[in-house]
Amino acid sequence: MSKILIRGAQVLGGEAQDVLIDGETIAEVGTGLSAEGATVIEADGQILLPGLVDLHTHLREPGREDSETVLTGTRAAASGGYTAVFAMANTHPVADTAGVVEQVYRLGQEAGYCDVQPIGAVTVGLEGKKLAELGAMHDSAAGVTVFSDDGKCVDDAVIMRRALEYVKAFGGVVAQHAQEPRLTEGAQMNEGVVSAELGLGGWPAVAEESIIARDVLLAEHVGSRVHICHLSTAGSVEIVRWAKSRGIDVTAEVTPHHLLLTDELVRSYNPVYKVNPPLRTEKDVLALREALADGTIDIVATDHAPHPHEDKDCEWAAAAMGMVGLETALSVVQQTMVETGLLDWAGVAERMSFAPARIGRAKGHGRPVSAGEPANLTLVDPAYRGVVDPADFASRSRNTPYEGRELPGRVTHTFLRGRATVVDGKLA
C-alpha cells in the first residue's frame, strides 16, 4: 500500500499537523513532514478525527435487503465518516445464533467499506423469553460483545438480570431498548401536548424512564455493565446521572435526531418523523444536549433505520418507525453541539469514536491519532454548508427527516486501515 500525507489538518480540532499514513497504520504525526513518495491531501481548515464508530446501526441484511444491505449500509457509513458500525440483531432471521452473526460479519469484511461488528440478540427471536446463545455468539468469528433485543425491550426483569450476569463471563454488555411495553401499547408519538391535540397514541416518557431506573438497579445489584440505547427524555438523563454518581457501570447513547428535532414536527403527520423512541419536546432536546456535553450521555449513536419509500408514503399509523442517519450524524452533531459551544472537536471524537469503541470493545477503532495506530481516520470540512438531498445518499433508503434542511460540515475523506473509502466527499 502506498503512503498518504494529510497536510495541515487540525487533529481533533487542535493545532494544524501533518499525518503520514503508511500502509494500514499511521507512520508519523508532526509538522513539516516529508511528502516524498506519498499522495498529498491538503487539509487546511479541516478537522481530523479518529474514524467514527456507530454502536447502533440497522443494516437490514439478512431479510430486508430492499431497505438496506451490508454493502449499501457500510457505503452510507463510510460516507458519514464511520469506520466501524455495530449492526443490530433485529434482522430476518434474527441474529441470535453464531451462524447469523458470522454471516453479517463476513459480509462486512467482503464489502470493505467499514468494519461491521454484529450485535447479538439477548433472547431467542427477540421474544424476550429465553436467552439466546450469547456465549456461542461471543466465541464465533464475529466475536460478539454487545447484545441487544433492540426494537423491543427486554422487559422481563428476570431475563434482563440473567443476561446482565451471564455476559460478565466474557466482558459483554447488554444494550437495552428501554420501553415498558404495556405503557406504550398503541403508541404513535411522544405523549404530551402535541399528541393530545393530534389524537395520536402517546408514548410516555415514563415508559422509558421506568425501565432505565430498573436496569441500572439490576446492573448495580449483579455488578454488571449496562448500556442504554437512544435515551430520549430529560427524566432519563436524571436517572443515568444519578446512577453514575452512585458508581453504577452504565453508559448511554443519544441519537442525532433526538438532539435536533421535536414532536412539534409530527403536526405535519409526515411519517418521516415517526421514530422509536419518538421525537420529544424542546425541553428534552436541551437536556440531552447538556447531558452529552457533561458526559452523562457517553456517545452519539445513529439508530440508522432504513425503510423503503412505500413504508413511509402512507398515513402515519401505518408507517414504519425509524430514520436513516449515518450520512447526516456528524453534521447534526456539529450543528447542535459544536456550533452551540457545548462541545469541541475533541469532545466529538470522544463521543463518536473513542467511547463507542470502548463500550463495544471494537478492536482497532477509537484509537488515538498517533504513530503506530491503525489508520482509521475521518477528515471533516466544518466550514461547508449544504442542503440535505436524499438523492445523494449511499444508503438504499431515503427516509431522512432532514430533506431540504441546511446542515453544516461535510466528511471529505474516510480511511479504513489506510485505504480511502471516501475521497473528496465521494465514495472511493
For the annotated catalytic residues, the residue numbers are 303
For residue 304, the 8-state DSSP code is B
Among 23, 28, 143, 316, binds other proteins (CB under 8 A): 316
Among 64, 177, 396, 398, binds Zn ion (CB under 5 A): 177
Q: Does 111 bind other proteins (CB under 8 A)?
A: no
* 307 assigned binding-site residue: yes
Cβ closest to Zn ion, residue 49 vs residue 292: 292
Residues contacting residue 36 through CB under 8 Å, at least 6 positions apart: none
Reply yes or no: is the peptide bond before residue 62 cis, omega within 30 of 0.
Answer: yes
Q: What angle do CA 48, 51, 52 make, to 5 degrees?
A: 110
Q: Does 319 bind other proteins (CB under 8 A)?
A: yes
Q: Does 188 bind other proteins (CB under 8 A)?
A: yes
Which residues pair with residue 30 across a beta bridge?
A: 18
CA-wise closest residue to 235 among 261, 207, 263: 207
Cell 458526559 locates to: 295
Cβ closest to other proteins, residue 169 vs residue 314: 314
* 60 assigned binding-site residue: yes
Which residues pair with residue 70 across a beta bridge?
A: none
Cβ closest to other proteins, residue 32 vs residue 186: 186
Among 31, 34, 268, 370, binds other proteins (CB under 8 A): 268
Q: What angle do CA 192, 196, 202 make, to 5 degrees?
A: 60
**Maximum CA pair distance of the chain?**
66
**C-alpha distances in angstroms, 350 versus 299, 354, 355, 402?**
8, 5, 6, 25
Cβ closest to other proteins, residue 25 vs residue 270: 270
Q: Which does 177 bind (CB under 5 to 8 A by kind): other proteins, Zn ion, none?
A: Zn ion
Q: Which stretch binds other proteins (CB under 8 A): 93-101, 111-119, 317-325, 361-369?
A: 317-325
Among 141, 196, 383, 387, binds other proteins (CB under 8 A): 196
- Alpha helices in 148-233, H assignment, sequence order: 157-166, 193-198, 205-222
* 365 assigned binding-site residue: no
- CB 11 within 8 Å of CB 48: yes
Q: Does 403 bind other proteins (CB under 8 A)?
A: no
Positions touching other proteins (CB under 8 A) are 188, 191-200, 202, 204, 268-270, 310-311, 313-319
Give the residue ranges of the annotated binding site. Answer: 56, 58-60, 90, 150, 177, 230, 276, 303, 307
Give the residue ranges of the annotated binding site for Zn(2+). Answer: 56, 58, 150, 177, 230, 303
